[in-house]
Structure 1
Amino acid sequence: MFSRDALAVDKNFLLSEHFESEALPLRCSGNCPTITEDLAFSGAKSLKIQLDLDSSPVSYRTEVQQAGFANFKDVYRYAFKIYLPDSYVADSVWELVAQWHAYPDFEIGETWRNPPLALATTNGEWTISNAWDAKRNTFATGNRVYDGQEKWVLGDYETDVWTAWLFEVKWSHTDDGYIKVWKNGELVVSKSGPNTFNDKVGTYFKAGIYKGWRNKNTIPKNGVRSRTLYFDDITIETKNGGVDPLK
């Protein structure tokens, strides 16, 4: 487990990573992805994400995560490209490919919650989910209780093609927040209002595969047992950075 203080370095939060060096530029969460020359959106390399139910040391997670937290009330733009190969067939076991996680305030009785914002590929569809809570302690009643949750189903995902995503978010647990999402340059989500939790620190970004394989006994015998996908051109900037999701 990482500490909140270890991540709270704003100067390291913004990034533009194209994975052209040999060294992995982001910290691992679960299994470490690799840099590959198999394919790339730009340049010669990309980030390869592999997860195997039977052979991966961590059966349910291969991700990278950015050091640093977003500031509440600031506007951030997160842009990245994802490539799903034709082997990425539809599967009923849930899987997140990008998530903006929140760090609980353990000292007041909180523990881990759903990510406030996530991009998923469950059941062969692109979906985006959002959870929020203005209460200081989401577990104040003894159970995890959110103020609200919302989900957008964006249709079947495409394989053997790069998909460009751009998320613009003003993180807030009050009415002044908003989320806008573009897929290949087309606005597919636009929401105003609260979009995160009332925590001491803001969200942090993760990319890769986080799949519902923690309990192997609940996995269908005829289901998918391995996943591979690719990321390229991960950029996190303030709104004035002018990220173009198509370039």
Structure 2
Amino acid sequence: AAPVTSAAAADGTVVFADDFESGTVSAWTRQRVDGNGSITVAPAPAGGSGLAARFSVPDDGVSYRSEVAVNSLGWGSYRFALADYLPADWVRTSTETILAQWHGYPLADGSDTKPPIALTLKDGGWRLKVHWLTDPTTVQEAVIPLGDAQFDHWNQWAFDITWSTDTTPGAITVYRDGAQVGAYSGLNNYHQNQSPYFKTGIYRANWNPAKNIPYPTGGPDVVAWSDSVVVTRY
């Protein structure tokens, strides 16, 4: 599996880890594929080693998600470290792709929520998106640019997250390949009964047929790899 290196490594308790060397994704609480995509474990490409998780979503008009998730790990402060890889033939597009996200639960009115925190790629640039509530159902958003993407390259990510509460602000610091690339301070979730749960893989919301957003189909499959996931409480 690809090693994860980052600045100021958290000194605490590992609460979840998976390097996919088992050959499966069974360490994850759930796996979800919407449409005709796939989740497999295969030899890591490029500079990776061992096995890694491969996520694929075809551009067929019905497929939009291929992800694995782990249940809520609780409130407090955590480091989420992981490696991801985008192939050299990745198609740069204005259609936003989520590669990792920390997801909440339905709001008081039953509506679905945008992920409180998401690592996304749009037009070849990495972005951190943060969402919070200003009242029980109104969602606000902040977008923090994280720099240009490198393709055919294992990105070594670390996200130091302190969850906000009703009375205290939260904080997020993002590292890529050992260098800090972004930071955010303030509300960073919806203050629900459980802390957001973590997911990695591929999610393209605009490709969801339920949204009725027309887009050209027939392009290549969207493929991304994940490896060396380590979550530390500190």
Q: Which residue of 2 aligns with 1:170?
A: 162
Relative to 1, partners in 2 of residues 1:89 and 1:21: Cα closer, same or farther, differing over 3 Å? Answer: same
Displacement, 1:64? 0.4
In structure 2, which of residues 87, 97, 100 is the aligned counterpart of residue 98 of structure 1? Answer: 100
Give me the CA root mean square deviation: 2.3
> Taking every aligned residue pair, what percent have the same amino acid on both sides?
30
Select between 25-34 and 45-54 the one with higher mean Cα deviation.
25-34
Q: Which residue of 2 aligns with 1:7?
A: none
**How far apart in 2 are the matches of 1:162 and 1:44?**
13
Displacement, 1:238? 0.5
Q: Residues 44-97 of structure 1: CA distance to partner in whole angstroms, max 9, x if unpaired?
A: 110001110229xx601000001x21323x101100001111111201212101
1:58-137 pair list within 5 angstroms:
59-66=63-70, 68-72=71-75, 74-105=76-107, 108-133=108-133, 135=135, 137=136
Q: Residues 117-151 of structure 1: CA distance to partner in whole angstroms, max 9, x if unpaired?
A: 0001121111110011264x32xxxxxx12x3210
Displacement, 1:217? 5.8
**How far apart in 1 are the matches of 2:53 and 2:196?**
22
1:8-87 pair list within 5 angstroms:
14-25=15-26, 26=28, 27-30=30-33, 31-39=37-45, 43-54=49-60, 59-66=63-70, 68-72=71-75, 74-87=76-89
Asked if the contact 1:40/1:46 (under 8 Å) is kept, the reply is no
Displacement, 1:218? 3.1
**How far apart in 2 are the matches of 1:42 and 1:235?**
16
| TM-score of the aligned structures, taking structure 2 as reference length | 0.82
SS at match of 2:68: strand
1:233 counterpart = 2:228? yes
Displacement, 1:41? 5.9
| TM-score of the aligned structures, taking structure 1 as reference length | 0.78
Q: Which runs of 5+ in 1 are unaligned?
A: 1-12, 139-144, 240-247
Q: Which residue of 2 aligns with 1:155?
A: 147
**How far apart in 2 are the matches of 1:59 and 1:226?**
10
**How far apart in 2 are the matches of 1:221 and 1:32?**
21
**How far apart in 2 are the matches of 1:203 and 1:164?**
22
1:214 counterpart = 2:208? yes
Asked if the contact 1:15/1:235 (under 8 Å) is kept, the reply is yes
SS at match of 2:114: coil
Structure 1 residue runs of 4+, over 6 Å off?
A: none
**How far apart in 1 are the matches of 2:73 and 2:17?**
16
1:186-197 pair list within 5 angstroms:
186-197=179-190
Relative to 1, partners in 2 of residues 1:41 and 1:16: Cα closer, same or farther, differing over 3 Å? Answer: farther
Relative to 1, partners in 2 of residues 1:32 and 1:15: Cα closer, same or farther, differing over 3 Å? Answer: farther
**How far apart in 2 are the matches of 1:15 and 1:230?**
19
Partner amino acid for 1:69?
Answer: S
**How far apart in 1 are the matches of 2:105 and 2:99?**
19
Asked if the contact 1:134/1:197 (under 8 Å) is kept, the reply is no
Relative to 1, partners in 2 of residues 1:221 and 1:46: Cα closer, same or farther, differing over 3 Å? Answer: same
Higher strand share: 2
Asked if the contact 2:48/2:154 (under 8 Å) is kept, the reply is no
**How far apart in 2 are the matches of 1:222 and 1:207?**
24
**How far apart in 1 are the matches of 2:141 and 2:217?**
31
> For this pair of structures, how many residues does the alignment match?
213
